[in-house]
Amino acid sequence: MTGVALSWTFERLENLAPRQVYDLLALRSAVFVVEQNCVFQDSDGVDERCWHLLGHDQDQRLLAYLRIVDAGVKYAEPSIGRVVTEPAVRGQGYGVVLMEEGIRRAQVVWPGHIIRIGAQHRLEHFYQNFGFESIGDVYIEDDIPHIEMLLAA
């Protein structure tokens, strides 16, 4: 996508620098807890069984983040979650680039596997643009409507 240039870090939690861990937790908290006014336990014990994808700009500011959860941890399939962009850069294509990179990385780590997400329902169409298909009914998680979606291998 034109104008969106990020440098990527893709690591397991134990291989991230303390500053990287701090930055990703701060971004997740700023959006998922504060902005969305949702009190929930973000540090859910799953981060240790994930790949973490961090997108930084040229000034090393974290602008985009997601985690790819190992197959068998939350779902039978590998899953993408905690998809977040820095609020100041929303609408500039960073979310699209993040998801494209996240899907690509998940397919490298788990070739031939379906990818599952538990998407916020309001973002269903965003994820459909990447080929995810909705399955099941809308459900409530942390007081927010969600829907499960699958991306075929």
* pLDDT tens-digit series, residues 33-71: 767 777 777 788 999 999 999 999 999 999 999 999 999
- C-alpha distance from residue 151 to each of 28, 31, 65, 128, 131 (Å): 24, 25, 19, 9, 6
Rounded Cα gap, residues 43 and 13, in angstroms: 12
CA dihedral 46, 121, 100, 50 (to 10 degrees): 0
pLDDT category at 16 given cuts 50, 70, 90 is very high
pLDDT for the residue numbered 44: 85
Rounded Cα gap, residues 43 and 71, in angstroms: 19
pLDDT for the residue numbered 41: 72
Q: Is the pLDDT of residue 143 over 90?
A: no
DSSP 63-111: EEEEEEEPTTTSSSS-EEEEEEE-GGGTTSSHHHHHHHHHHHHHHHHST
Q: How many helices (H) and strands (E) does the chain have?
A: 3, 7
Residue 14 is given by DSSP the state: G
Q: In the predicted model, what is the mean pLDDT of the chain?
A: 93
133-141 and 62-69 strand pairing: unpaired
Q: Average pLDDT for residues 13-18, to the nearest whole number?
A: 98
Rounded Cα gap, residues 141 and 14, in angstroms: 28
Q: Is the pLDDT of residue 1 over 70?
A: no
Count of Cβ atoms closer than 10 Å to residue 17 Cβ:
10
More confident residue, 132 or 1: 132
Domains annotated for the chain, with CATH where assigned, are 7-151 (3.40.630.30)
Rounded Cα gap, residues 53 and 11, in angstroms: 7
With a pLDDT cut of 90, the percent of the chain lying above it is: 84
Q: Note the pLDDT tens digit of each residue in 75-102.
A: 999 999 999 999 999 999 999 999 999 9
Q: Is the pLDDT of residue 2 over 70?
A: no
